[in-house]
Amino acid sequence: MNQLVVMKFGGTSMGSAERIRGAALLCEEQYNRRPTCVVVSAMSKVTDLLLDTLRHAEGGDAAGVEANLQALETRHRDTCHELLEGPLGEETQLLLSGILNEFARIARGVLMLGERPPRSVDEAIAVGERLSSTLIAAYLRSRNVDAFAVNARDVIVTDAVFGNAAPLLDPTREKAENLLKPELEAGRMPIVTGFNGATLDGRPTTLGRGGSDFSASILASVLDAEELWIWTDVDGIMSADPRIVPEAVVLEEITYREAAELAYNGAKVLHPRTLAPLMEKEVPVWSKNSFRPEVAGTRIVPNAGAPPGARAVTSMNNVALVSLEPASALLSGTRVMARAIEALAATNAEVLALSSSSYRQNFCFLIRQSELPAVIERLEQAFSLELAHGYLHPIDIDLDVGLLAIVGEGMKGQAGLAGRIFTAISREMVNIIAIAQGSSELTIAIAVRKDGIEKAVRAVHRECGLGPVPAV
């Protein structure tokens, strides 16, 4: 769509009445200039609270459930009270109550059943985004902006992998064209819930934790947006997570490939799958700070003049190393690998690194811990006979690992860089478990013992000279 901008606000950018006012102002500024579609996350920590409530419910803790429901209601009611008054305030409180009641009904249902059906979980945890979108849409209306809340369940179509769904772009495009485009053309501003969607037959799904970035890029792609702006709580994409490396610097411009590698390898600032729907159409993406909108931020572009060397280092703590090893020569290692990969694909799990040994036919891969339960369940199903009859050793899971990745288009052909990185890590007495480098030489991924990961990140950041450029 001509000139359309899609803007996504993360949890901290929606975290209080004051933050919502700030986000609304940024929406309004764009709305006055061009068609604008907004995607919002739940208020900060709300998705955690929803999940925690369901855990209490499953464990039979009625008091815990009620306390959480109360906290949820108070947070949203108070925010609404601070933002809106008069009839619009009352109308909005009623809308919030309706959504909160839906969540309470599911939570109490889980309490009675003693289990959490994945489908109900997905419906329940999207409530955070429904509440926040209702709040900001009402606030914008109070400022005479023609905004309206949209539940992405009516727009984003996904497969049926609950908790980690993948979008189906063609049916999504059709829905977006029917539901959102005419409204945008009529000068209205949709405020779409991030994080959720539904299957073709209408069952609610979610896109994985942090998935609102992905929701925004899906919509930017199917609506043919001119730009996507992702508003967060740091000045852009940085040379490292500033919580781990205080001297990390903001990168002015990076390529899709670099940003995607960073996101896949743990840079929480972008959901791993965000860039995929945009690459073909080359939609530029900005990562910006909603607390400091005057700062330019990072521009993510198809190609950039790559400076030599590394651009950023990132890390991930919550990973698991899963190993499979045949116990009998009768079982082909290659077949084990093929079937294991099929099981991984069925859960939409992302393989972060993979390695195999030809002699023992041992095969291991690294995945996110959040994806572990579904993967193990699938693997145990796929190999139930082999495990029962002892053809396959019990599946080994090592949780004491972390993944560190060094990313940069300009690392290609830099002789000696990998050696310097390994030396820098070893100097910190951090144990390296596995190393993987793709043939593109865009990323070097290193699995290390978990307790050494932050030290290793700082050492690599220093060794690669990623901090501020010294004044001449």
Binding site for Mg ion (CB under 5 A): 10, 210
Q: How far is the CB of 241 from ligand ADP (least distance, A)?
A: 3
Minimal CA–CA distance to 454: which of 241, 238, 234? Answer: 241
Angstrom distances, CA of residue 407 to CA of 310, 321, 430, 455: 6, 21, 20, 18
- Using CB under 6 A, which of the segments 40-48, 76-84, 234-242, 463-471 binds ligand ASP? 40-48
- Contact between 195 and ligand ASP by CB under 6 A: the answer reads yes
Shorter beta-carbon distance to ligand ADP: residue 30 or 289: 289
Q: Which amino acid is at 161?
A: V
Residues 5-34 that bind ligand ASP (CB under 6 A): 10-11
Q: Burial of 413 by CB count in 10 Å (0-12 exposed, 13-18 middle, 19+ buried)?
A: exposed
Alpha carbon 151 to chain centroid, angstroms: 19
- Using CB under 6 A, which of the segments 6-14, 17-25, 196-204, 440-448 binds ligand ADP? 6-14
Residue 84 near residue 138 (C-beta atoms within 8 A): yes
Residue 4 near residue 228 (C-beta atoms within 8 A): no
- Contact between 212 and ligand ASP by CB under 6 A: the answer reads yes
If DSSP codes are grouped into helix, strand and coil, which group holds residue 416? coil
Q: Would you state the torsion angle of the CA atoms of residues 77, 187, 285, 128, taken in this order, to the nearest 10 degrees?
A: 20
Encoded one letter per residue, x for contact with ligand ASP by CB under 6 A and - for no contact, window 127-146 reads -x------------------
Residue 183 near residue 227 (C-beta atoms within 8 A): no
Residues 290-349 that bind ligand ADP (CB under 6 A): 312, 314
Shorter beta-carbon distance to Mg ion: residue 248 or 269: 269
**Residues constituting the chain:** 472
Minimal CA–CA distance to 276: which of 345, 218, 348? Answer: 218
Residue 46 near residue 131 (C-beta atoms within 8 A): yes
Residues 9-48 that bind ligand ADP (CB under 6 A): 10-13, 41
Residue whose structure tokens are 């925010």: 79
Shorter beta-carbon distance to ligand ADP: residue 24 or 340: 24
Q: How far is the CB of 187 from Mg ion (least distance, A)?
A: 30
- Contact between 194 and ligand ASP by CB under 6 A: the answer reads yes
Angstrom distances, CA of residue 367 to CA of 199, 316, 344, 416, 420: 25, 10, 10, 29, 27
- Contact between 233 and ligand ADP by CB under 6 A: the answer reads yes
Report the chain's C-alpha Rg in angstroms.
23
Backbone angles phi, psi at 240, to 5 degrees: -170, 170
Q: How far is the CB of 268 from ligand ADP (least distance, A)?
A: 4
Q: Burial of 315 by CB count in 10 Å (0-12 exposed, 13-18 middle, 19+ buried)?
A: buried
- Using CB under 6 A, which of the segments 73-81, 166-174, 267-275, 370-378 binds ligand ADP? 267-275
Q: How far is the CB of 3 from Mg ion (least distance, A)?
A: 26
Q: How far is the CB of 454 from ligand ADP (least distance, A)?
A: 12
From 69, 84, 240, 453, residue interacting with ligand ADP (rule: CB under 6 A): 240
Q: Which does 233 bind (CB under 5 to 8 A by kind): ligand ASP, Mg ion, ligand ADP, none?
A: ligand ADP
From 120, 193, 199, 232, residue interacting with ligand ADP (rule: CB under 6 A): 232
Q: How far is the CB of 372 from ligand ADP (least distance, A)?
A: 21
Shorter beta-carbon distance to ligand ASP: residue 34 or 119: 119
- Contact between 243 and ligand ADP by CB under 6 A: the answer reads yes
Angstrom distances, CA of residue 242 to CA of 191, 245, 463: 30, 5, 17
Strand partners, 392: 326
Q: How far is the CB of 94 from ligand ADP (least distance, A)?
A: 28
Residues 202-221 that bind ligand ADP (CB under 6 A): 210
| Alpha carbon distance 382, 191 (integer Å) | 42
Report the residue number whose CB is nearest to ligand ADP.
10
Minimal CA–CA distance to 440: which of 257, 169, 238? Answer: 257
Shorter beta-carbon distance to ligand ADP: residue 157 or 191: 191
Angstrom distances, CA of residue 160 to CA of 38, 273, 277: 25, 17, 19
Shorter beta-carbon distance to ligand ADP: residue 208 or 210: 210
Q: Which does 243 bind (CB under 5 to 8 A by kind): Mg ion, ligand ADP, ligand ASP, none?
A: ligand ADP
- Contact between 193 and ligand ADP by CB under 6 A: the answer reads no
Q: How far is the CB of 125 from ligand ASP (least distance, A)?
A: 8
Token representation of residue 447: 């699995």
Q: Which does 195 bind (CB under 5 to 8 A by kind): ligand ASP, ligand ADP, Mg ion, none?
A: ligand ASP
- Using CB under 6 A, which of the segments 7-15, 324-332, 347-355, 383-391 binds ligand ADP? 7-15
| Alpha carbon distance 132, 47 (integer Å) | 11
Angstrom distances, CA of residue 455 to CA of 121, 317, 385, 451: 37, 13, 43, 9
Binding residues for ligand ADP, rule: CB under 6 A, are: 10-13, 41, 210, 232-234, 237-238, 240-243, 262, 267-269, 312, 314
Q: Write out the residues near ligand ASP by the rule CB under 6 A.
A: 10-11, 41-42, 47, 128, 194-195, 209-212
